[in-house]
Amino acid sequence: MENASVYPVPQEEAAVAESILAVIVDNEPGVLSRVIGLISARGYNIESLTVAEVDAEKHRSRITVVTRGTPQKIEQIKAQLGRLVPVRRVIDISEESDALTRELALVKIVSTGDKRVEAMRLAEIFRARPLDTTHTSFIFEVTGARDKINAFLDLLKPLGLTEVSRTGVLSIRRGSEAE
Amino acid sequence: MMTLLDKTEALAPAQSAPVAELEPTQKAGAELLLDALEEQGVEVIFGYPGGAVLPIYEALHQREPIRHVMVRHEQGAVHAAEGYARSSGKVGVVLVTSGPGATNAVTGLTDALLDSIPLVCITGQVARGLIGTDAFQECDTIGITRACTKHNYLVGDARGLPAIVHEAFHVARNGRPGPVLIDLPKDVQFEKAEYVTRRVARQRNCIVTPPVQPKEIERAVELMRQARRPVFYTGGGVINAGVEASAALRALARETGFPVTSTLMGLGAFPASDPQWLGMLGMHGSFEANNAMHGCDLMIAVGARFDDRVTGRLDAFSPGSRKIQIDIDPSSVNKIVKVDMPIIGDAGAILEALLVQWRKRESDAAAPPSRLSEWTAQIQTWRGKNSFAFENSDEVIKPQFAIERLYQMTRGRDVYITTEVGQHQMWAAQHFHFDDPNRWMTSGGLGTMGYGLPAALGVQIAHPDALVIDIAGDASVQMMMQEMSTAIQHDLPVKIFILNNEYLGMVRQWQELLHDGRYSHTYSESLPDFVKLAEAYGGAGLRAEKPGELDDAINEMMAIDKPVLFDCRVSGEENVFPMIPSGAAHNQMLFGGAFTGDEVSQEGRVQV
Ligand SMILES: Cc1ncc(C[n+]2csc(CCOP(=O)(O)OP(=O)(O)O)c2C)c(N)n1
Ligand SMILES: [Mg+2]
């Protein structure tokens, strides 16, 4: 149907892509909300977020954010993050071909019989470590790249997967150079 | 790993003071605050008291050097500080109480953020132990103002206060300037600690302005020498970069012969009386400026951020040009328009370096002096359109004519202009001409009605002997009208020149353009009698209703040494022309006459 309003229907936006940003910040009150507020104020969802102090002496924390957006918006977000007073450095992990990224997940399986055996077998393949066992359940700890964890969870779904807790993505560069 | 920015190194190692030099003296937080403000060179604070800032007001009471200007509304305090800052190049300082004091300041802070005005705003906060308890006049000032300040601080203890104040000034002033807020709990105001000087205070490297890169300058000058249709597109950043930047722009433009246009915010950086001046560009800019932007082969943007008021339809914006963008803020580059060559840094330093390099290369024959002659001739024909022309009248005062007369009659005076927001603002930009920077204070980014009157007060404080005029609209001026009382109290003889068209004129114009002239709620009903209102405040009121009365009335206004409300009755349904309707390209301008209703494309209609 023709648009009868004096205002047009909005056009589709450019393609969105995933982006992983590592943000080195001064660990001070409010710094996390500044960083995530800046991203969410532009209407982008944060897919994962990790944050912890990494240098107690200098009070530096490392925030790793996984978000999605058009390339231009991501560039904007990076530049704007750089403008925040407590932000020391912004590193675009997704632009790095050989950056290491890891995530940790805790996974609870509730099942018996064949399903339980199959879950055990998969856990071995994915090098997941059992942390807790009862006659009807397991809790596994698994680490790896996001894709690997996603694949593991997909396979476990029909086998009694009941609960998942994930850390979100961590990242670091290879080689001898420091950040 | 690609690093986008690195602020990991310390700006300056904290210098430890010689131990013997300092007699440790403990002072209350309120005193520490004022000590720090004094050390930062603060001469005036615009403020409004309340429970959560009582200790600061107590301390102020005892102090000579810092002047406090009590306003009538906290929004007025922020705009006044903006006017002070914009006209003097100094940081404006605001002091308000917690809760409603802070929330009232929000509009002003947002205005300063969008127009890059350096401010430090101190808000009172409830005592530390009460934060988060819904205490009386408590609000989450840090949360509320996070999005409308460049940075904000919640002060944790008196010991850390001086360093925070010093850093706040550093952040407000440097890089792309902006408002910084310090939220100061009441108990910290009387907690005792030692003062820390600016020199000794820990400084972190939070704003980095990269030095001029010779390679970039060489490349830019190469592009400039090849250009046959160049234009300088300058913005508020040139004003922010100080008078040196304006001087450098003038020198560079003169030697290169390149024409210059400017955004609304940049007026005065380049003299309007110069033959290379094209006038303002953008939605209500001149025919020659917009056509030069559209047809140029090299655009040099300086401290300008490709605002939608300027670019019009993006996919048709200056299609055939290479673009150099000089800006201090990396996030302003490639934000809206992809440029060929960003140069990050201080506008003044970069323009000076460009001039030096230009002179070095002047001697080679590659670029003959005649290379711009076709372009100059083309611009001359565009100028012939005389796009700011209007049809005058003997019967009614045309608003454009009123500004023209105001401009002519105030020649020879030291004039500063502020404006409100609306048609009058655009007519002021078109018909009042500025030869110097810092003379034109207007709300460009946020478009805040109510800005002009309090801003004028701040300007008058910075320039006590100058003629300060707020070119106002009948609707806008009522938004901060209470500041007339501040003007009277502090002997600030500002002139409020109201182009009274009895309409929310700019909105009415858009209703005429977009909504078939259905003027829904844009008639200025029940206007006050501005003359009587002025008198009620203790100021002077004047009125002009016929073109013939204007000159005498303006003279009278200038002769009065008090605040004046000038009710200039102008024709009601005049529109601002030329106009690039939203969603149109720079070369699709409308001139005068009636709207037909199909000027605005579908895409244009969603734009403001
Ligand atoms: C605080 C605020 N509210 C609403 C607007 C929207 N607005 C823009 S111009 C305008 C009309 C201004 O009328 P007036 O001050 O009389 O100026 P005129 O356009 O008539 O010259 C309005 C309502 C605004 N810019 N600011
Ligand atoms: Mg009006």
ipTM of the complex: 0.85
Within 8 A of A8 by CB-CB distance, chain B residues are: 602-603, 605-606
pLDDT on residue B493: 98
What the block records as the tokens of B448 is 């805040």
pLDDT on residue A42: 81
B603 pLDDT band, cuts 50/70/90, is: confident
Within 8 A of B176 by CB-CB distance, chain A residues are: 83
Q: What is the mean pLDDT of residues A81-107?
A: 91
pLDDT on residue B208: 84
Which residues of B are annotated as catalytic? 74, 136-137, 186, 506
Give CA B179 to chain center in angstroms: 12
pLDDT tens by residue, B56-75: 999 999 888 899 999 999 99
Mean predicted lDDT score pLDDT of chain B: 93
What the block records as the tokens of B363 is 């001697």
3-state DSSP: chain A helix, strand, coil percent, rounded to 5?
A: 30, 40, 30
Residue whose CA is at the smallest distance from ligand 1 atom 8: B422
Min distance B152 CA to chain A CA atoms (Å): 9
Q: Which residue out of A26, A72, A83, A90 would a mutagenesis test of the B interface target, given it has the greatest number of B Cβ atoms within 10 Å?
A: A83
Q: What is the mean pLDDT of residues A37-62?
A: 91
Residues of A with CB under 8 A from a CB of B: 3, 6-8, 10-11, 24, 26, 29-30, 33-34, 37, 41, 72, 75-76, 78-80, 82-93, 95-96, 99, 173, 179
Answer whether B106's CB lies under 8 Å from B181's CB: no
* Model pTM above 0.90: yes
* Of the partner residues A8, A92, A96, the one whose CB lies closest to the CB of residue B4: A92
What the block records as the tokens of A75 is 């560039």
Q: What is the mean pLDDT of residues B263-267?
A: 98
Give, for ligand 1, the residue of B506, B519, B574 to mutate: max count of ligand atoms closer than 8 Å to Cβ: B506
CA dihedral A167, A171, A175, B2 (to 10 degrees): 180
Other CB atoms within a 10 A radius of the CB of residue A151 amount to 14
- List the single range of A66-70, B76-80, B371-375 with lowest mean pLDDT: A66-70
- DSSP structural state of residue B98: S
Answer whether B390's CB lies under 8 Å from B400's CB: yes
Three-state secondary structure of B288-304 = HHHHHHHHCCEEEEECC
Q: What is the mean pLDDT of residues B303-314?
A: 89
Tell the residue number behind the tokens 């929000």, with chain if given: B106
Peptide bond into A8 cis (omega under 30): no
Spatial CA neighbour of B567 closest among B479, B499, B468: B499
Within 8 A of A72 by CB-CB distance, chain B residues are: 334
pLDDT tens by residue, A6-32: 555 455 567 888 899 999 999 998 999
Answer whether B77's CB lies under 8 Å from B457's CB: no
What the block records as the tokens of A106 is 């805790």
Residue B9: strand, helix, or coil: coil
pLDDT on residue B602: 73
Distance CA B297, CA B300 (A): 10
pLDDT on residue B13: 44
pLDDT on residue B364: 64
Distance CA A140, CA A129 (A): 5
- β partners of residue B180: B120, B151
Nearest-by-CA chain A residue for B145: A34
Is B520 in CB contact (< 8 Å) with chain A?
no
pLDDT tens by residue, B385-407: 999 999 999 999 999 999 999 99
Hey, which residues 425-454 in chain B have their CB within 8 Å of chain A?
none
Whether B1 shows a pLDDT value over 90: the answer reads no
B188 pLDDT band, cuts 50/70/90, is: very high
Percent of chain B with pLDDT over 90: 84
pLDDT tens by residue, B330-368: 999 988 898 999 999 999 999 999 999 999 987 666 667
Residue B1: strand, helix, or coil: coil
Whether B20 shows a pLDDT value over 90: the answer reads no
**Distance from Cα B451 to the centre of ligand 1, integer Å:** 11
Answer whether B342's CB lies under 8 Å from B333's CB: yes
Answer whether B179's CB lies under 8 Å from B113's CB: yes
Whether A3 shows a pLDDT value over 50: the answer reads no
Q: Count of CB contacts below 8 A, A vs B? A: 82
**Between residues B10 and A62, the one the model is more confident about:** A62
Burial of B102 (0-12, 13-18, 19+ CB in 10 A): buried
pLDDT tens by residue, A115-157: 999 999 999 999 999 999 999 999 999 999 999 999 999 999 9
Query: Cβ neighbours of residue B299 under 8 Å, at least 6 residues apart?
Result: B230, B231, B233, B293, B318, B321, B322, B323, B324
Whether B1 sits inside 8 A of A91 (CB atoms) is yes
Residue B328 C-beta-side C-alpha neighbours within 13 Å? 25
Burial of B582 (0-12, 13-18, 19+ CB in 10 A): buried
Percent of chain A with pLDDT over 70: 92
What is the C-alpha radius of gyration for chain A, rounded to an integer number of angstroms?
21
The β-bridge relationship of strands B26-28 and A170-172 is: unpaired
**Between residues B315 and B494, the one the model is more confident about:** B494
Within 8 A of A83 by CB-CB distance, chain B residues are: 150, 175-176, 329-331
Q: Relative to the CA of B422, which ligand 1 atom is closest?
A: 19
Distance CA B425, CA B419 (A): 6
